[in-house]
Amino acid sequence: MPINLTSSCCEPDESSAFLVRRFLFLESKSKTGSYSDKHIPEGSCTLMFNFKGEVDMSINNSFSQELPPYFLTLPFLGPVSIKATLPIDSFGVACKTSVFSRLFNISLNTCRIPSYRRIDDVIPVDLYEELKNAEGFIARVQIFQKYLNDLTKGEEYIPDNIDIAYERIYESNGLIHISDLINDVNLNSRSFRRNFYCRIGVSAKSLCRIVRANQVLNALKEANEIDFQNIVFTGKYFDQPHFVNDFRKFIGESPGTFFHRDLRLVKLFSGIQ
């Protein structure tokens, strides 16, 4: 099946890298039709600005929600299905979740739908309109980076304990023990768990599972066949059934089914290059 979508990404400049992991761009060549598949959360939160078309989201295939023109995707341990109605013109800003919630002073543990949050209470509609009217991907990147610099007044961002813990999970590929993580950041267990959940929207254990699952995905997409024994060993799963069950809970499909079907839309919807 031909897919008339183009995507690209770029890295932030040095002044924005404290918050931004990468910028994403998705555009359709066709004016009519729709595409449906899964979005794979990877632990970042992503500001999505949709300037054309409509995007609907469902969680665990239980309900469908039409998303607003701009919103924030959140870390989520479970399958998220997306339906994009053409034409599509979208700009995304993948952010470090702990930094975003602290910078904008928002809690992520009170969202009615756990995989996304309306963001018009902290991101001004004027920014959305300016991005919409910009000509090209690079112009949008420059507009957002200027907005961020004006917001912070160019001051250096100093990571706190939750930021450090968040990055340690990524550095360990999701394999760090939570007790070691708590010791590393010098917080008592109750304060750490409460503050982490408030800032990230999921527990540290759930984020570890999300990051670990994404490491498996990255490894498997380069492999010619699935080596379950190697996955169990490198991912520190108890056994093969443990891996398969964890994968199914996160993706909604078995690894055998998932990696033997067309994944082009999954990659486009998930910002995977």
186-224 pLDDT, tens digit per residue, is: 889 999 999 999 999 999 999 999 999 888 877 766 666
Measured between alpha carbons, how far apart are the two ends of the chain, in Å?
Answer: 19
Residues 6+ apart with CB under 8 A from 61: 79, 81, 252
Torsion of CA 248, 251, 256, 257, to 10 degrees: 110
Non-local (6+) Cβ contacts of 136 within 8 A are none
Tokens of 205: 């254990």
Quote the distance between the C-alpha of residue 4 and its chain's center.
23
Structural domain boundaries of the chain? 5-156+265-270, 161-260
C-alpha 140/C-alpha 169 separation (Å) is: 30
**Helix/strand/coil for 23:** strand
Residues 161-260: name the CATH superfamily. Answer: Homeodomain-like (1.10.10.60)
Which pair of structure tokens corresponds to residue 33? Answer: 């039709």
Say what the pTM is: 0.94
Q: Which fold has domain 5-156+265-270?
A: Jelly Rolls (2.60.120)
Q: What is the pLDDT along the chain (273 residues), one digit of tens a residue?
A: 678 888 999 999 999 999 999 999 999 988 899 999 998 888 999 999 999 999 999 987 666 789 999 999 999 988 899 999 999 999 999 999 999 999 999 999 888 778 899 999 999 999 999 999 999 999 999 999 999 999 999 899 999 999 999 999 999 999 999 999 999 888 899 999 999 999 999 999 999 999 998 888 777 666 667 787 888 888 888 888 998 898 888 889 998 898 888 989 998 898 876
Q: Judge whether 106 and 122 are in contact, CB under 8 Å.
A: yes
- The pairs formed by 4-11 with CB atoms below 8 angstroms and a separation of 24 or more are 4/28, 4/29, 4/30, 5/29, 5/35, 5/88, 5/265, 5/268, 7/268, 7/271, 7/273, 8/137, 9/271, 9/273, 10/137, 10/138, 10/141
Q: Alpha helix (H) ranges present in the chain? A: 97-103, 125-133, 137-152, 161-171, 178-185, 189-200, 204-220, 228-234, 240-251, 255-258, 264-270
CA 1 to CA 30: how far, in whole Å? 14
Judge whether 63 and 52 are in contact, CB under 8 Å: no
